[in-house]
Amino acid sequence: MSDASVIAICGLEDEQDLRDRVREEMERAGLSQAKAANEIGISDSRLSQWLAGKYRGDIPALERKVSRWLDARSERARLAASLPSAPGYVELPTSRRIAAGLSYAQMAGDITVIYGGAGISKTTTAREYAAGHPNVWLATMTASTNTLGPCIERVALACGLRPATTRAARIEADLVERLEGTHGLLIIDEAQHLNTRAIEALRGLHDATGVGLAIMGNELVYARITGGRRSAEFAQLFSRIGKRVRLTRPTRADVDALLAAWEIKGDKEREAVLEIARRPGALRGVTKVLRLASLFARGEPVRLEHIRAAWRDLGGES
């Protein structure tokens, strides 16, 4: 056998080995072929052809992309394994207040406004509530969905609709048909981004369908609804609010519940974490600090020096 034939055979074996590694990674991670192709940066059809040994394009270039993808996933898995696992959802006293507001809106078919600073478990609790109750839809607003059309489209997507049009009136009609009679709950998170017409459209959905409506966001949400222009712009919405949940800052009981979940018991550690919880970022910041502190502790009990080191690394004071 010639040297050229040996090299060709070795090349085919290497290519087959790479294909096998891709298939194994897809199976291990539960990735569809389309999802894997998207992560690699190639089309689904190119990946399909290559896996079948029928690709006739630039094979070395494609295989470099595949190899980089496999290496990147391996590195992410290695880093993830080195990080301590955060506890799952931790029910806090503040979380119970949020969940009670959501439950009231759904059971009564009413409107709840939940508002307060960032990092006080609003979004986490809303996701947990949605996961545990039927007919609950969570739509998160951003600066790009602040007007009527994008807001209604985002709500439709959250409700499982795929609008075939950008006409707000048509999407609204589809939403009314979808929501009416469900005894469900529509949760609008980050609602401070919405303008007057968008908020009024949500109120209109509530009126037309009887679906519960929870409007969540920072202090600006409630300030806008109850501010000086309330009578002109938000009179109908304000008159329909059935429950208000104002969240100022995490409580000691919230911090104690988080520390118990992380199995941290010292008084000095508790006071340090409580101080962090009072800063911007609140409970979200505490969770980040505790996870990093656990990494620093290397399997040992988390002590005050680990918490302080984690806080410094995250940009806090020394």
> What is the reported pLDDT for 248?
86
Quote the pLDDT of residue 81.
75
pLDDT at 233: 58
Report in angstroms the alpha-carbon separations of 270 from 91, 225, 285: 18, 37, 14
pLDDT of residue 119: 86
What's residue 6's pLDDT?
A: 33
With a CB cutoff of 8 Å and minimum separation 6, the contacts of 213 are: 105, 110, 111, 112, 185, 186, 188, 202, 203, 205, 206
pLDDT of 224 reads 73
The ranges of the chain with pLDDT < 70 are 1-13, 226-238, 317-318
DSSP string, 99-160: HHHHHHHHHHT-EEEEEE-TTSSHHHHHHHHHHHSSSEEEEE--GGG-SHHHHHHHHHHHTT
**pLDDT tens figures, 7-63:** 333 444 488 899 999 999 999 999 999 999 999 999 999 999 999 999 999 999 999
Quote the pTM value.
Answer: 0.74
Note the CATH number of domain 3-82: 1.10.260
DSSP string covering 253-290, please? HHHHHHHHHTT---HHHHHHHHHHHTSTTHHHHHHHHH
Q: Are strands 185-189 and 212-217 parallel, antiparallel or unpaired?
A: parallel
Greatest C-alpha distance within the chain = 91
Q: Where in the chain is the domain with CATH 1.10.260?
A: 3-82
- Cβ-in-10-Å burial (0-12, 13-18, 19+) of 212 comes to buried
**Quick one: pLDDT at residue 3?**
40
Residues of the chain with CATH 3.40.50.300: 93-247
pLDDT of residue 228: 46
What CATH number should be reported for the domain whose range is 93-247? 3.40.50.300
Is the separation of the CB atoms in 259 and 269 below 8 Å?
yes
